[in-house]
Amino acid sequence: MLSTADALATLLGAARPIGGTETLATLDALNRVLAADVVSPLDVPPMHTSAMDGYAIRTADLAQGGRHLPVSQRIPAGHAPQPLAAGTAARIFTGATVPPGADAVVMQEQTEATDSGVTIVHAPKAGEWITAQGADIRRDSVILPAGTRLTPQALGLAASVGCAALTVVRRVKVAVFFTGDELTMPGEPLKPGAIYNSNRFTLRGLLQNLGCDVTDFGIVPDSLDATRATLREAAGAHDLILTCGGVSVGEEDHVKPAVEAEGRLSMWQIAMKPGKPLAFGAVRRGADRSEADGEAFFIGLPGNPVSSFVTFLLFVRPFVLRLAGATHVSPRALSLRADFTQPKGDRRNEFLRARVNAAGGLDLFPNQSSAVLTSTVWGDGLIDNPPNHAITAGETVRFIPFTELLY
C-alpha cells in the first residue's frame, strides 16, 4: 500500500495548472487564485500621516524652551494641510496628513489646550506618532504574488493600493457523479435496503468552498453503459471528474472498467484509515476519443461518508488547488496535547476526528468508524496519527484543523 505522502506526491506531480484567466472586480474575487502579480503603483500610506489625535509640532521649537504654542491650523483626515509655520502647532487627527515642516505629533493626552493655543507637557522625539510615507507598502513592490488565493484581507490589501480589478485563474471545472442503486435523495421515500445520498451534499459543498465550477450529474445507474456515457459527457467540458463509490472490484462496481475503457486508471490502496481505496486517472476527450484531444483528470473516492470526506480533504483539495495554480496547497498542522488515551495504534496512518477542549487539549470522538458522519460535525479537525502508534494522554500529537482543510 502507498503511504499518504507518496499518494499525495503522485497526485500533485500529475496536476497541470489549467491556464485560462479572467479579470474580475476586486470585490468579486474572493477565494480566487491570482494569475498575475499585484504590483503597487504607490506608497502606502502615500504621505506622512498622524497615528494619533493630537498636535503636529516642530521639535526644534520645543528645544528652544517654548512649551506653549499657538495653533495655526486644524487638519482632519482627508484634507491637505498648509506648511507648519515656525513656532506654532497644528491640531491634527488620526490618519490626517502631517503638514510640511512638522516632525512629530504629540498625542492630545500629553497636551493642555487653552484659549491662546496649546501647552505641550511632553518632550517628543523626532518622528514620534508619525507613520512615514511607504511604511506599509513601497511603490513598485509586489504585494500579492501570482498563485495567491485571495482571502478577505488580501482583497483589502489590493484595494489599499487602488486595484479595482484583478486577473485571476478561471474556475476549475469539476464534474461530479455518484454510483449505487441503493442511493436515494432526501425527500424521496426510502426503500428497503436504500440509504440517503449524504456524499452528494458533502462533496458538492467542499467543491463550492474551493470556488470550483461544479456540474452535478447526480446518481448514475449501476451499469457499465450508463457510467461510460456519463464519463464521456463529463470529460468534454471539465478539468476533473470526481466520483464517489463503485471503485472496488465487485460485480456491481462499474467505475473501474468504465474509466479503463474511456481512458486510463490507476487504483491505489493507501495505508490510511479511513479511506483506503482511491482511484486516479484520466478520461479522453474528443469525438474520436484520441489522446490528442486531451484528457480530463479522474479521481474516484470511496463510498463510506467519512472516507470520502477525509480523502477529499487530504487529496482532492490540494489537487484542485494545484490545478488552479495555487502556490500553497498543504494545510498547516498544530502540535496539541492529547487529553485521551488510545492504547493500540493501527498499522495504517490514522486520521482521527477530534476537537479542542476548553483546556486547549484534544478530545477524541468515541466512534471512529468510517460510517459515522456525526464525527465530522462534532470535530474541529483530524489527528494525523502515524502507523502503529498508540497515543498516551498528555503527549503531543499532530492536529490539522478543519479550517485548514475546508477552504
**What is the residue whose three cell numbers read 440509504?**
195
To which H or E segment does residue 154 belong?
Answer: helix 152-160
The top-level CATH class assigned to 49-131 is mainly beta
Homologous superfamily (CATH) for 21-44+136-169: Molybdopterin biosynthesis moea protein, domain 2 (3.90.105.10)
The top-level CATH class assigned to 4-18+170-323 is alpha beta
Whether 290 shows a pLDDT value over 70: the answer reads no
Report whether 104 contacts 60 (CB < 8 A). Answer: no
Mean pLDDT over residues 238-257, rounded? 79
Q: From CA 211, how far away is CA 324, in angstroms rounded? A: 10
Say what the pLDDT of residue 287 is.
57
Mean pLDDT over residues 215-221, rounded? 93
3-state secondary structure 201-255: HHHHHHHHHCCCEEEEEEEECCCHHHHHHHHHHHHCCCCEEEEECCCCCCCCCCH
Q: pLDDT tens across 22-35, in order? A: 999 999 999 999 99
Taking the CA of residue 123 as centre, how many other CA atoms within 13 Å lie in the half-sphere pointing to its CB? 6
Number of H helices and number of E strands within the chain? 9, 27
Mean pLDDT over residues 51-74, rounded? 93
Say what the pLDDT of residue 221 is.
87
Say what the pLDDT of residue 179 is.
86
Q: From CA 339, how far away is CA 362, in angstroms rounded? A: 5
Expressed in percent and rounded to 5, the helix, strand and coil fractions of the chain are 25, 30, 45
Q: From CA 264, how far away is CA 178, in angstroms rounded? A: 19
Confirm or reject CATH 2.40.340.10 for domain 334-404, answering yes or no.
yes
Q: pLDDT tens across 133-188, in order? A: 999 999 999 999 999 999 999 999 999 999 999 999 999 999 999 988 788 889 99
Q: From CA 247, how far away is CA 212, in angstroms rounded? A: 23
This model's pTM is above 0.75: yes
Mean pLDDT over residues 260-280, rounded? 93
Say what the pLDDT of residue 292 is.
42
Say what the pLDDT of residue 198 is.
93
How many residues are recorded in the chain? 407
- Domain boundaries, given as residue ranges, for the chain: 4-18+170-323, 21-44+136-169, 49-131, 334-404
Say what the pLDDT of residue 300 is.
95
Q: From CA 220, how far away is CA 108, in angstroms rounded? A: 71
Whether 250 shows a pLDDT value over 80: the answer reads no
